[in-house]
């Protein structure tokens, strides 16, 4: 079983922002792959959807704890489903990457991402798979981190974000069916 967690913030004011790229990818993936409808699981601090890719059972989760406390939800999910961290995949925005670029990594530190830091602290390891989605543009260079990640997409960025969301879904399918290394070789 694989747990795929998309990081973001709950609430309408965060919809279509860079910080919610993890949620956006999972929403698209859940529909495209015909997973179950999203269900609120208060004890897991998350919305979850379940399905299969090939023969592999997959749980999708969108923590409802707000970004900086994502680890609380991830810890509860790992415990509930008895999943080891090497079967945890986290999708999140990344300010050190240009908007629209994807980077797959594993066993890396948080690089300043508070949601990832929270996960590492709660599960006591950085040995998990990450799909990092670039959030930085020329227009965001002189802005604070908060201004960048909470900014809504403009029209051109919205079009690019839709393409990157589809590509992220492809990465997830390849990683599940053919392995993480194959996904890294094909998409990095």
Is the pLDDT at 135 greater than 90? The verdict is no
Of 90, 126, 172, residue with least CA distance to 184: 172
Active site residues: 19
Q: Are strands 129-136 and 102-106 parallel, antiparallel or unpaired?
A: antiparallel
Name the superfamily (CATH) of residues 2-187. Peptidyl-tRNA hydrolase (3.40.50.1470)
The mean per-residue pLDDT over the stretch 129-147 comes to 76
Band (pLDDT 50/70/90 cuts) for residue 150 is confident
Q: What is the separation, in whole angstroms, between the first and last Cα of the chain?
A: 24
Residue in 50, 13, 57 with CA at minimum distance from that of residue 29: 50
The confidence score (pLDDT) of residue 62 equals 98
| CB-based contact 173:53 (threshold 8 Å) | yes
Q: What is the pLDDT of residues 63-80, one digit of tens each?
A: 999 999 999 999 999 999
Is residue 106 over pLDDT 70?
A: yes
Tokens of 111: 């690089």
Q: pLDDT band at residue 148, thresholds of 50, 70 and 90? A: low
Identify the DSSP state of 17.
B
> Considering the chain, what is the average pLDDT of its residues?
91
> Is 1 in contact with 78 (CB distance < 8 Å)?
no
- CA 150 to each of CA 18, 63, 124, 147: distance values in angstroms, whole numbers, following the listed order: 6, 17, 28, 6
Where in the chain are the domains?
A: 2-187
Q: Give percent of the chain above pLDDT 70.
A: 93
pTM score of the predicted model: 0.93
Task: Read off the pLDDT band of 160 (50, 70, 90).
Answer: confident
pLDDT value, residue 137: 67
Question: What is the CA angle 180-186-188, rounded to 5?
Answer: 85
């Amino acid at each position: 079983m694989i747990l795929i967690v998309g990081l973001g913030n709950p609430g309408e004011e965060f919809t279509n922002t860079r910080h919610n790229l993890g949620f956006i990818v999972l929403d698209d993936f859940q529909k495209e792959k015909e997973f179950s409808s999203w269900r609120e699981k208060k004890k897991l601090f998350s919305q979850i959807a379940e399905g299969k890719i090939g023969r592999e059972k997959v749980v999708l989760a969108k923590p409802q704890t707000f970004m900086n406390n994502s680890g609380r939800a991830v810890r509860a999910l790992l415990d509930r489903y008895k999943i080891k961290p090497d079967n945890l995949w986290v999708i999140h925005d990344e300010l050190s990457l240009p908007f629209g670029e994807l980077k797959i990594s594993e066993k890396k530190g948080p690089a300043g991402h508070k949601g990832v830091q929270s996960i590492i602290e709660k599960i006591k390891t950085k040995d998990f798979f990450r799909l990092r989605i670039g959030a930085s543009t020329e227009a965001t260079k002189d802005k604070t981190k908060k201004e960048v990640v909470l900014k809504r997409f403009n029209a051109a960025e919205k079009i690019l974000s839709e393409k990157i969301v589809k590509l992220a879904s492809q990465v997830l399918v390849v990683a599940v069916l053919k392995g993480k290394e194959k996904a890294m070789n094909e998409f990095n």
